[in-house]
């Protein structure tokens, strides 16, 4: 049995450096990056004899193993992982095993095999078998691979609230795998700010340029998207008439974004009553005074008339 300390980067794989001399002409004998050889440990290959059912001349020999993490399946702990094996006498391989369980594999050449794994664990044994025998190697992974804690699943979003949110409001996101969150996107753009409260809870603030669509959480292990978010935008007040009036007079306010209005004020004083005629018009009855700007409170925020001032006539 041999041991290999393998290393990988997320989406980018690196070839392990053997500590013994190699004479093969395959590219497995040349490191793919300037990684110190001390990061890897290779002990002599162990090949076992087996019954001859094909025509290979010798049992397989594993010289090197490296990992390539292609990605994570959204919403699960399943990874798409490619294990690349370099060595000799691999062309006649009849089976590849990971921890004694057969896995899908492809013979690239007599010196290379690729195998597909479904989960990442810290230690595993890879075995290549042909009719002459088998070769085994124990692969010991480092605690992290390209920033991913070994065995950490990608994030999931189980729910978020509210599903209709205004710019500047806070959205509470529930799910799993949030501890290493790198970014939160709301409506396709980065959240104005976010706080990872726990492994299962994030609080994020809706940014000014967010659009209706989805919320996403990004971690080193992957990204999860959850659709169904509606962004509310603060409307406008374009005019109102009359611009001065006594108590009991009805004024008409025109603009945008009035649907769902919960309050109307004149100079900071609530009107006696109001009716939302449409998304663009409100009729309000003047109450007990108030000179100043006109404001309408909606689910998306407070709409203000700015420099346009209403004058209360005693």
pLDDT tens digits along 172-225 = 999 988 888 889 999 889 999 999 999 899 999 999 888 898 999 988 767 888
Q: In this predicted structure, what is the pLDDT of residue 69?
A: 61
Name, in order, each residue with C-beta under 8 angstroms of 149's C-beta and a sequence gap of 6 or more: 143, 180, 220, 221
Phi-psi region of 116 (alpha: psi -120 to 50; beta: other; left: phi over 0): beta
What average pLDDT is seen over the chain? 76
Closest to 286 in 3D by CA, of 262, 269, 301: 269
Closest to 147 in 3D by CA, of 195, 185, 182: 182
Q: In this predicted structure, what is the pLDDT of residue 79?
A: 53
Check pLDDT > 80 for residue 145. Answer: no
The pLDDT of 258-265, averaged and rounded, is 94
For residue 256, name the pLDDT band (cuts at 50, 70, 90): very high
Are 265 and 255 within 8 A, CB to CB? no
Rounded Cα distance, 6 and 65, in Å: 7
What DSSP character marks residue 153? P
Rounded Cα distance, 91 and 106, in Å: 10
Q: In this predicted structure, what is the pLDDT of residue 48?
A: 37
Task: Name the class of domain 156-232.
Answer: mainly beta
Check pLDDT > 90 for residue 85. Answer: no
Closest to 21 in 3D by CA, of 60, 61, 63: 63
Instruction: Fold for 2-149, please state it.
Output: Immunoglobulin-like (2.60.40)
Q: Which two tokens stand for residue 220?
A: 């080193």
For residue 233, name the pLDDT band (cuts at 50, 70, 90): confident
Are 44 and 180 within 8 A, CB to CB? no
The pLDDT of 80-94, averaged and rounded, is 83
Check pLDDT > 60 for residue 58. Answer: yes
Q: In this predicted structure, what is the pLDDT of residue 13?
A: 35
Identify the residue whose tokens are 């009855």. 285
Percent of the chain at pLDDT above 70? Answer: 71
Helix (H, G, I), strand (E, B) or coil at 82: strand
Question: What is the Cα gyration radius of the chain?
Answer: 33
**Could you tell me which residue, 103 or 72, shows the higher pLDDT?**
103
Among the residue ranges 74-78, 224-228, 295-299, the one predicted with the least confidence is 74-78
Are 296 and 275 within 8 A, CB to CB? no
CATH architecture of 236-312: Sandwich (2.60)
Check pLDDT > 70 for residue 146. Answer: no
Q: In this predicted structure, what is the pLDDT of residue 2?
A: 45
Angle at 15 between CA 33 and CA 219, to 5 degrees: 80
Check pLDDT > 80 for residue 18. Answer: no
Are 210 and 167 within 8 A, CB to CB? yes
The pLDDT of 238-255, averaged and rounded, is 96
Check pLDDT > 70 for residue 150. Answer: no
For CATH 2.60.40.10, list the domain ranges present in the chain. Answer: 156-232, 236-312
Q: Which two tokens stand for residue 20?
A: 């013994």
Highest mean pLDDT among 32-46, 62-76, 126-140, 197-211: 197-211
The pLDDT of 40-46, averaged and rounded, is 31
């Amino acid at each position: 049995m041999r041991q290999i300390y393998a290393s990988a980067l997320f989406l980018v794989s690196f070839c392990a450096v053997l500590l013994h001399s190699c004479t093969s002409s395959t590219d497995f004998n040349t490191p793919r990056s300037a990684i110190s050889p001390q990061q890897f440990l290779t002990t002599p290959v162990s090949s076992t004899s087996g019954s001859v059912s094909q025509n290979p001349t010798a049992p397989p020999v594993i010289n090197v193993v490296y990992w390539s993490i292609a990605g994570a399946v959204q919403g699960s702990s399943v990874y798409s992982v490619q294990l690349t094996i370099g060595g000799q006498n691999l062309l006649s391989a009849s089976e590849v095993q990971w921890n004694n369980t057969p896995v899908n594999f492809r013979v690239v050449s007599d010196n290379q095999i690729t195998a597909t794994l479904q989960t990442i664990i810290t230690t595993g044994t890879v075995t290549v078998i042909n009719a002459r025998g088998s070769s085994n190697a124990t692969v010991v992974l480092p605690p992290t691979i390209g920033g991913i804690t070994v065995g950490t699943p990608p994030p999931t979003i189980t729910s978020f609230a509210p599903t209709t949110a205004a710019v500047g409001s806070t959205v509470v996101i529930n799910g799993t795998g949030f501890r290493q969150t790198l970014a939160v996107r709301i409506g396709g753009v980065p959240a104005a700010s976010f706080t990872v409260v726990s492994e299962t809870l994030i609080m994020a603030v809706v940014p000014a340029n967010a659009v209706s669509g989805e919320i996403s959480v990004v971690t080193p292990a992957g990204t999860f998207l959850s659709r169904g978010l509606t962004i509310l935008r603060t409307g406008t007040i374009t005019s109102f008439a009359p611009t001065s009036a006594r108590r009991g007079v009805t004024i008409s306010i025109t603009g945008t974004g009035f649907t769902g209005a919960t309050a109307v004020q004149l100079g900071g004083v609530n009107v006696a009553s109001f009716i939302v005629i449409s998304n663009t018009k409100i009729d309000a009855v003047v109450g007990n005074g108030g000179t100043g700007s006109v404001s309408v409170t909606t689910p998306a925020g407070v709409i203000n008339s700015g420099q346009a001032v209403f004058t209360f006539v005693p």
